[in-house]
A and B are shown apart, each in its own frame.
Chain A
Amino acid sequence: DVKVTQSSRYLVKRTGEKVFLECVQDMDHENMFWYRQDPGLGLRLIYFSYDVKMKEKGDIPEGYSVSREKKERFSLILESASTNQTSMYLCASSSTRTSLGAKNIQYFGAGTRLSVL
């Protein structure tokens, strides 16, 4: 089974802190994604990556950056955390270089619930 692991389930940080959220996948997927999930807004894409050292902005990249130094690891960075970044953060991975049945299926981690005080 595909496994996507997010390093923390719950995180509490203070305003202005630099925050790292880590995500690791074990399926050699080339694509990785970071979303935030807020009630009534569904999942909103922050950043995604098609390959090592490559990144693309999603719909809400402001206030965030990402790093992908190794294929299996995709990090989300909040340079200076703010209270409006309190949210659930979900990481996912997928492959487009696979059979049609598996193409584009995203596999999700359990999520990190971040509170910024």
Chain B
Amino acid sequence: AQSVTQLGSHVSVSEGALVLLRCNYSSSVPPYLFWYVQYPNQGLQLLLKYTSAATLVKGINGFEAEFKKSETSFHLTKPSAHMSDAAEYFCAVSDRRGSTLGRLYFGRGTQLTVWP
């Protein structure tokens, strides 16, 4: 089974600072990779997705993530944090083939706090 590690359960940044949320996956075959965001008392919303095209993926709200096969990483970044970015962020992977096709494996989440 796939596994996903998100380094840092809590990240705090000042408004305007760089946001970096880390995600590493375990798979010998590059999977599909996702970042989701969850605002308080809401479900998860897709930020961006990597399939197999460009390694730098742009998402909504100014976020982007870079797929690095050699590091098995898919870190999420945003150049300048905004107060509205405060939320919990989840990294997820899915297999490209096999009986588990369609299932997502989630990391434990990173809570982002943005200070004024």
Contacts and interface: CB of A to CB of B under 8 A. Distances in A.
Contact of B90 (A42, A50, A107, A110): A42
A100 B53 CA distance: 10
Nearest to B105: A45
B43 interface: yes
Contacts of B106: 42-43
A4 B43 contact: yes
Contacts of A92: 43-44
Contacts of A106: 44, 46, 104
Contacts of A103: 32, 51
A104 B32 contact: yes
Nearest to A30: B102
Contacts of A48: 102-103
Interface in A2-50: 4, 31, 33, 40-43, 45, 48, 50
Interface in B94-116: 94, 101-104, 106-109
Given A43-B90, A43-B106, A101 B51 contact: yes
B9 interface: yes
Interface size class of B (residues with CB under 8 A): 20 to 34
Interface residues of A, number: 25
Contact of A42 (B102, B103, B107): B107
B42 interface: yes
A33 to B, nearest CB: 8
A108 B44 contact: yes
Interface string A95-117: 01000110111111111000000
Contacts of B41: 110-111
A104 B42 contact: no
A94 B34 CA distance: 13
Interface of A: 4, 31, 33, 40-43, 45, 48, 50, 90, 92, 94, 96, 100-101, 103-111
Given A4-B43, A43-B90, A106-B46, 9 more contacts: A42-B90, A42-B108, A48-B103, A90-B43, A90-B44, A96-B102, A104-B101, A104-B104, A108-B44
